[in-house]
Amino acid sequence: MPEPRFEVSTQWLHVHFKEPVAFAETYGFAGNQGAVNLEGVLLRPQGVASKTLIVFMHPASTLQLLPVPRELAALGMHVLCAASRYPRNDSALIMEKVAIDLGAHIRHAREVLGYQKIVLAGWSGGGSLSLFYQSQAERPDITHTPAGDPVDLVGAGLIAADAVVCQAAHLSRAVMLRDMIDPSVRNENDPDDRDIEFDLYHPANPSKPPYAPDYVAEYRRRQLARMRRITAQVKQTLDMLRRRGSGELERGFTTHRTLADPRYLDAALEPNARRPGWCYLGNPETVNSGPVGLARFSTLRSWLSQWSIDDSRVDGLACAARISAPLLVIENEADDCVPQPHARMLFDAAGSRDKQFQVIRGATHYYAGQPELMLEAAMLTRRWLAERGLLS
C-alpha cells in the first residue's frame, strides 16, 4: 500500500536580530546596519499538525529548491529551510556567524512558531554545520573566530536540537577543498603556471588512471602544501593590515583551480557506485577552472573560518565526538560529491549513544532522476524519528 502523501504549503519567514559589526561583510540588508536579517521557507503538509520541526541549513546555499525537504513535507513532516546571512554567496562567510544564524532560526521556531522538538537535518555541507552547531549548543566554548574577531557562541544561548540527521554529508568544507584543490598550480596569481606532472587534466601528464599509490600520496601531500601556503599568505596579509591601523580591514582574493580530486577520474580510489569522469558539478576538468569552484573567491577571514584545514573549527569528526543527541547518518552509495568514507567516519566518531548508520544503494548526491531512492531516504528518516518519539 503506497504511503499517504500531502499537498505542501510554503510560508516565507523573516528572522531579525541586532548585531553590531566592525564593517559590512554582506551586500545589502542581510547583515549590516547593526542587524542581521534572515530568510526561511517553512514547508508544511496541509492538514497535518506537528510539534516537531526538521531544520535544514547549508552554509552557502538555500535548500527550499532541494527535493529532499519537500519530500519529507509531502510525507507529513514540518520542515524549515533556513538561510544564513550569506545566502548563495560564501565569499565572506564566517562559520561561527552561520551557527549564530542557525540558532536564531531555532529560537524563532521554538518561541514564535511553537515547535517543541527540533531535528537538525544536515545535507551535504549542512552535515558538518549541524554537528558544529550541536556541539556548541551542548558544550559551547568559542568566543573568537579563527581570525581573532569576537564572536560569542558561549553567550549566544544556542538551543540544542533533539536529534541530528546527516545525509550525504562530508567531513567539512576545508577537508573537501584540501582533497579537491589542484596541486599543479605554482603561482597563485597565474593559473597557467603549472607543474604538468601533477596536472590531472594535462594530456602530457605521464600519470593516468588508475593512479599508482605513490603518485596519489605525493599528490595529496602537494595539495596540503598548497592549502597551507595560501593560509600563510592570508595570515601575513591580515597581520599587515592590522599593523597599518588604517580603515582597510579586509581583502578578497581568488583561488584558481579547485576541483582536481583524483577520485573523480579514478573510480578505484575509495570506490563507490559513482560515475567515473564525472562529479556533482559536471565535467571535473571544466569545473576545476570554472566560476563555481570551491573557495574560488574568498575574504581573508572567511578563508580561515571555512577553508583553512588547520584553522576552521567546523571539523565534522571533532564536532561529532562532542555531541550526545541521537544521530542518524545516511550514506548515498553512488554519491558523486562526498567521498565514500566520510559518512562512516562521522558515524564512528560520534559521541551519541543512540546512533544509526544506513546506506541508500545507488543514490547519487542530489538523487537526480532517482525519485524512488529519494523516497527511500525520506521514509528512512521518518521511521527513525518515529521510533524515537520525535514525530507527533
Residue pointed to by grid coordinates 572567511: 302
**Which domains, ranges and CATH numbers included, belong to the chain?**
8-172+313-387 (3.40.50.1820), 175-307 (no CATH)
Neighbouring CB atoms inside 10 A of 25's CB total: 21
β partners of residue 79: 43, 54
Q: Which residues face 347 on adjacent strands?
A: none
Beta bridge partners of 150: 144
User: Digits of tens for pLDDT over the chain (392 positions)?
Assistant: 677 899 999 999 999 999 988 787 876 666 567 899 999 999 999 999 999 999 999 998 888 888 899 999 999 999 999 999 999 899 999 999 999 999 999 999 999 999 999 999 999 999 999 999 999 999 999 999 999 999 999 999 999 999 999 999 999 999 999 999 999 999 999 999 999 999 999 999 999 999 999 999 999 999 999 999 999 999 999 999 999 999 999 999 999 999 999 999 999 999 999 999 999 999 999 999 999 889 999 999 999 999 999 999 999 999 999 999 999 999 999 999 999 999 999 999 999 999 999 999 999 999 999 999 999 999 999 999 999 999 97
Entry pTM: 0.97
Do the beta carbons of residue 163 and residue 390 sit within 8 Å? yes
Give the three-state DSSP class for 295.
Answer: coil
Assess contact for 319 and 312: CB atoms under 8 A: no
Residues 6+ away with beta carbon under 8 Å from 195: 183, 184, 186
For residues 118 and 106, is the Cβ–Cβ distance under 8 A? Answer: yes
List alpha helices for the chain, DSSP H. Answer: 67-74, 95-111, 125-138, 173-180, 213-244, 284-289, 300-302, 316-321, 341-349, 371-387
Side-chain-side CA neighbours of residue 274 (13 Å): 26
